[in-house]
Amino acid sequence: MCAVVGLVVVILAAPGGPAGDARIALVVFVCAVALWVGTRVDDVYVALGAALALVLGGVVGGDVLFAALGSETVWLLVAAFVLSAGVAATGLTARCAAALLCRARTVRQMAHLVAIALLFTAFAVPSTSGRAALAVPVFTALARAVGPRARVVRAFAVLFPTVILLTAVATLLGAGAHLVTNDVLATTTGRQIGFAHWLLLGVPLAVVSAHIAAELVLRLFTTVDDRSTPLRISVDELASGLQTPVTGPLSGPEVQALVVLGGAVAAWSTGPLHGAHPALVALVGALVITTPRFGTTTMSHGLRTVPWSLLVFMAATAVLGTALATSGAAGWLAEGLFGALHSAPPWVVVGAIVLVSVAAHLCIQSRTARSSVLIPLVIPVAIGVGLNPVAVAFASTAAAGFCHTLTSSAKPVAMFSAIDGVETYSAADLLRLSAWLAPITGLLVTAFAVFVWPHLGLPLT
C-alpha cells in the first residue's frame, strides 16, 4: 500500500499531469486497483466504493451510477440467467453432452468432443462459473467411467475449465466483461459490437483455441499409450453418474426449453432486422420459460440463480470505466503506458496490448474488472496510433479471457481443482499449462486481429 500512496502523490504533484476531474478519477482508479490486487477486501465493495467516490467527487453524476445499475445490460443478464435456469432445469444440457461424448473411441476423440460440447454451453449459460457448475457433474460421471486411468482423469480435469474460459468469447453473453467492453465503447466511440457480429468474430477464435487447448492438454498430461488405448463409454455409464435421463425421446420440457432458447438466440442474432433490444428479447424468453403450468421452472427459482453481486460489480466498474474515459484520465494514463507505440506497426501495437491483457489476470482476478480497467486505456491508444478502437478493444477483451495460472484466477479453475472423490490437478499442473497456453493465446488473438477479423467486418485500421 505504500507504493500506492507514493503513486497517488506522484499523480497529484506531477507537472503536466491530469487536472480536475481527470486527477480525481485517476486517484480513485489507482486506489481501486490496489485494493483489488493487494487486499482481501470484497471486490464488489471496492467497486461500489470507487463508484460512490467518483459521484461524491463530482466526476460523474449520481444519475450515471443509478443508470448503470438499471441499464439494459443489467436487465439483459438478469433475464438471460432466468432463461438459463429454465434450460438447466430440464436436463437438456446433460442429455446433449452424453449423446456427444459417448461417440468417442479414443482419449483424443473424447478431448475434442468435450471441447465441442463445452463450446455449445456458451450459448445456453451467460457466465463461465455457471457453465462450470453444469459441467462438473458431467466431468464427475466421465471420471468414474474412465476408472483407474489417473492421467486421463487429470487431463480432463484441466481441459474442462480451460475450454470453458477460452470459449466464452464465442458470444456477447459469454462473460460480463464483454458487456462492459460494449458499454465503454458506446460511451467513448458511439459504436458497439452487435450480438450477431460478436458471434461471427468470436466463434472462430473459440473453436480454434478450444481444439488447440485440447491437443496441448493431451500432450502435457497424457502419454502416447494413454492416447492410443481404446476408450468406450456407454450412455448408461454416463447416465448413472449424471442421475438424469439421457436416452429416449425428448421430454416436453426439454422440447420447450430447446425452442425457447433457439428462438432467443435467433432473435438476438437478427436484431438489426427487427430492431428489438437484446434485453427485451431476453425478457420475453424468461417470461415464456417461466410461464405458470407450462414453463420449465418458476420465476422465483430463476431469479435465485442470478448472481446479483456480479451485476452490482459490473455496474460499478462500468461507472469507473466511464469516468476514466470521459474525464480524460484514460488518455493521460494510456499515453504514459503506451506512448512509445505511436510509431510502431499495427501488429506490434496489438501484440503489446494483447500481452498486457493476457498477463492482467495475475493482478486483477475478476474478468469484469480487467475489462473495466483495460478497455478505457486501450481505446485512446488505438485512436492515437490510428487503429480501429473497436478492433483493439475486442482483441483486448478476448485476450483477457486467459486466466488459467492460479486456482484463484477464475472460478471454473477453482471449482475443478477440488471435486469430492476425484483427484484433479495441482498448482504445478496449472503453471505447466499456463507456460504454454499463455503465449499461444496471445499469438492466436494477435493473428486473428491482424489477419482474420478484418475479413469478418472488423478492420484493424
Cell numbers placing 401:
479471457
With CA atoms as reference, report the closest residue to 412 among 207, 162, 203.
162
82 inside domain: no
Q: How far apart are CA 376 and CA 326, in angstroms?
A: 9
Report whether 429 contacts 154 (CB < 8 A): yes
4 inside domain: no
**pLDDT per residue over 152-199, tens digit each?**
889 999 999 999 999 999 999 888 889 889 888 888 888 889 888 999
Domain count, the chain: 1
Kindly state the average pLDDT of the residues 40-46: 85
219 inside domain: yes
190 inside domain: yes
Task: Give whichever of 195-204, 220-229, 262-271 has the largest mean pLDDT.
Answer: 195-204
- The secondary structure of 239-281 as a DSSP string is HHHHTS--SSSPPHHHHHHHHHHHHHHHHHHTHHHH---HHHH
Total-model pTM = 0.86
Q: How far apart are CA 333 and CA 26, in angstroms?
A: 8
Cell numbers placing 245:
435421463
* Amino acid making up residue 141: A
SS3 (DSSP) at 230: strand
% of the chain surpassing 70 pLDDT: 91
Q: What is the C-alpha end-to-end distance of the chain, expressed in Å?
A: 40
With CA atoms as reference, report the closest residue to 453 among 388, 391, 389, 383.
391
**pLDDT per residue over 62-74, tens digit each?**
888 888 888 888 8
Structural domain range at position 448: 91-250+328-456
Cell numbers placing 338:
503506451
Residue 453 has pLDDT above 60, yes or no: yes
- Give pLDDT, residue 16: 59
CB atoms within 10 A of CB 304: 12
148 inside domain: yes
Kindly state the average pLDDT of the residues 28-34: 84
370 inside domain: yes
Axis crossing angle, helix 92-101 with helix 252-269, rounded to the nearest 10: 90
Residue 384 has pLDDT above 70, yes or no: yes
322 inside domain: no
335 inside domain: yes
**pLDDT per residue over 306-344, tens digit each?**
888 888 888 888 888 888 888 877 777 777 666 666 677
Kindly state the average pLDDT of the residues 396-407: 88
